[in-house]
Amino acid sequence: MRKSSFNMLASTSLTLVMTASLLAACGGGTNESGGTTPAPAADGGKAASSSGPLQIAMMLDFSGKEQPKPDNPVLKEIEKYTNTKLNITQIPSNDYCAKLPVVIASGDMPEVVASCGTPNQPYLINAVQGGAFWDITPYLKDYPNLSKMPQVSYDNIKIGGKIYGIPRYRPISRYVFTYRQDWLNNLGMKPPTTVDEFYNMLKAFTTGDPDKNGKNDTYGVSSMISNTSFSPDFGLMFGAPNNWAVKDGKFIKAEETPEYLDGLKFAKKLYDEKLLNQDFATVDRPKYEGEFENGKAGVINATTNNMLAFEARVQAHNKDAKIDGVSALEGPKGKRTQADRGSNGILMFPKAKVKSEAQLKQLLGFFDKLSDKPMADLFEWGIPGTHYEVKDGKAIRTNQQAYDNEVRFPYSLLLQTVPVADIKTPGTVDPTTQRSLNIEADNAKYAVIDPAMVLISDTWNKQGQELLQILNDAKVKFVMGKIDENGWNQAVAQYKKAGGDKAAQELAAEYAKLPAK
């Protein structure tokens, strides 16, 4: 058996209608003469420049609802503690994933660039192999906070065995179906533990008037197509692999398996019975999330770290609303959930902008400093008196919605890297947060690994987006009834012939090189 690794200020800008404006927005971090701000002494990035605060421009993904205002108190606190002047371009997540390859190809990038999700995407591997980003592997040991990152989070973002960005730590498995617990109570139902019970809940949310308003105006689960994937994807629940499986040394894509087709049939059943939004193929993220927030959909596929935010957003419309979550449902092959990398993207340093080792060390020092206790408290709790108070030595959040809009989405999710559970001030954990922590712990027991997570296939590197699009188009058509099972099999055959088989062979060859477990 072989080894398998487990697996988003001066001002915030967002005028990104055209690629040209996007590229212009990324050009921060310069002095008045147009040159890069001089780097201070190479002492791990701790020293300040004699000419003033270190200027850093960044381009980050953003999944919040409201862009932060320029020179807001949270930004000022970050800049004050780190002695920096920050210019962060925040781009909505879906747009970010489409624009990032264009920006990378142009070479016109700021000092810090976030990846769009996983770092093993073809265009990013091409850029790394072409020398576009710094290999930070040799430097991490010199930074006390960055050195505390769980090794699995570093291992699972390596490209060719090297680390090309700081991972933003996340639990290894945090996917969850977040649902309206108050609706379930109104219907006299218990939380689902099996796939069948999950279906029954979606059915009741659609036909049983769960909000008790006497109208037929709710449905089961909000879904969307996100970055060439169907969310939620039910294949794993029915026994399909997590992306790839290895059998007798051969790699098999999840979509090639009968179990994945069973998951698609389940999605089609939900679509046909209108338990799933009929516009899933075209809906954008604001509406996708808004349907749950506004009390139209009873379930949304999310991550545990979003449960509390969703609760606050739902309660802004209905103060009596309650949410809960469920993840590892009992299916045909037992309980299964998706193992991830232990991070949400990486923060990379383009060589075209970061021209010296000294400048790189400054940037690494900045991110290391963001995990010091004052910054850990800022990211975790916000500003005292505004977002939380301290009672008996423990932090207590006083305004969840303000914290989400002003701290969590614009800053902590984007800039916080290493886990800070042992660094931050202890706090009183609300029931929803405790529930999310329990789900994360439970998920770890049932998480299914993707064996291709750190492997490179040249074919996938060049054709991955094209191959995924073949499969994704077929998923949409199958769920909507535009093709049948035979049509799905034809699409899988097209995928295999177009490069899927060759990619599988290359992954198998790379996998065989790993040390025996």
Q: What is residue 3's predicted lDDT score, i.e. its pLDDT?
A: 38
Supply the Cα-derived Rg of the chain in whole angstroms: 23
Distance separating alpha carbons of residues 88 and 79, to the nearest angstrom: 12
- In this predicted structure, the answer to whether residue 28 has a pLDDT above a threshold of 80 is no
The reply to whether 430 falls in a domain is no
Enclosing H/E stretch for 112: strand 112-114
CA-CA-CA-CA dihedral for 24, 29, 35, 40, to nearest 10: -170
Domain's final residue, options 294, 319, 338: 338
Same domain, yes or no, for 126 and 215? Answer: no
Same domain, yes or no, for 57 and 193? Answer: no
Distance separating alpha carbons of residues 235 and 244, to the nearest angstrom: 12
**CB atoms near residue 441 (< 10 Å):** 11
Per residue in 390-424, pLDDT (tens digit) is 999 999 999 988 999 999 999 999 999 999 988 99
Same domain, yes or no, for 158 and 193? Answer: no
Query: In sequence order, what DSSP letters do the residues of 12-50 get, joined into one string?
Result: EE---SSHHHHHHHT--SB-TTSSBPPP---SSS-SPBT
Same domain, yes or no, for 162 and 200? Answer: no
Per residue in 138-163, pLDDT (tens digit) is 999 999 999 999 998 999 999 888 99
Per residue in 29-62, pLDDT (tens digit) is 333 223 333 333 333 333 444 568 999 999 999 9
The reply to whether 445 falls in a domain is no
Domain's final residue, options 315, 338, 361: 338
Distance separating alpha carbons of residues 71 and 483, to the nearest angstrom: 53
Distance separating alpha carbons of residues 449 and 455, to the nearest angstrom: 13
Question: Closest Cα to residue 36, out of 110, 86, 107?
Answer: 110
Domain's final residue, options 338, 356, 389: 338
pTM (2 d.p.): 0.73
Strand partners, 230: 225
Same domain, yes or no, for 245 and 350? Answer: no
Same domain, yes or no, for 163 and 184? Answer: no
Cβ contacts of 398 within 8 Å, gap of 6 or more: 387, 388, 389
Phi, psi values for residue 132, rounded to 5°: -75, -25
The reply to whether 424 falls in a domain is no
Distance separating alpha carbons of residues 320 and 284, to the nearest angstrom: 27
The reply to whether 395 falls in a domain is no
Same domain, yes or no, for 190 and 319? Answer: yes
Per residue in 273-303, pLDDT (tens digit) is 999 999 999 998 889 999 999 999 999 998 8
Q: Is the peptide bond before 232 cis (omega within 30 degrees of 0)?
A: yes
The reply to whether 305 falls in a domain is yes
Q: Could you tell me the CATH number of the domain that includes residue 43?
A: 3.40.190.10
Around 39, how many Cα atoms within 13 Å sit in the side-chain half-sphere?
20
Per residue in 314-367, pLDDT (tens digit) is 999 999 999 999 999 999 999 999 998 899 999 999 999 999 999 999 999 999
Same domain, yes or no, for 125 and 149? Answer: yes
Same domain, yes or no, for 166 and 217? Answer: no
**Domain range spanning residue 318?**
175-338
CA distances from 371 to 106, 342, 364, 377 (A): 32, 17, 11, 9
Q: What is residue 235's predicted lDDT score, i.e. its pLDDT?
A: 95
The reply to whether 458 falls in a domain is no
The reply to whether 486 falls in a domain is no
The rounded Cα 147 to chain-centroid distance in angstroms is 22
Per residue in 213-237, pLDDT (tens digit) is 999 999 999 999 876 567 788 999 9
The reply to whether 82 falls in a domain is yes
Same domain, yes or no, for 191 and 141? Answer: no
Per residue in 434-490, pLDDT (tens digit) is 899 899 999 989 999 999 988 889 999 889 889 999 999 999 999 999 999 999 999
Q: What is residue 428's predicted lDDT score, i.e. its pLDDT?
A: 87
Number of domains comprising the chain: 2
Per residue in 205-215, pLDDT (tens digit) is 999 999 999 99
Same domain, yes or no, for 20 and 141? Answer: yes
Same domain, yes or no, for 211 and 323? Answer: yes
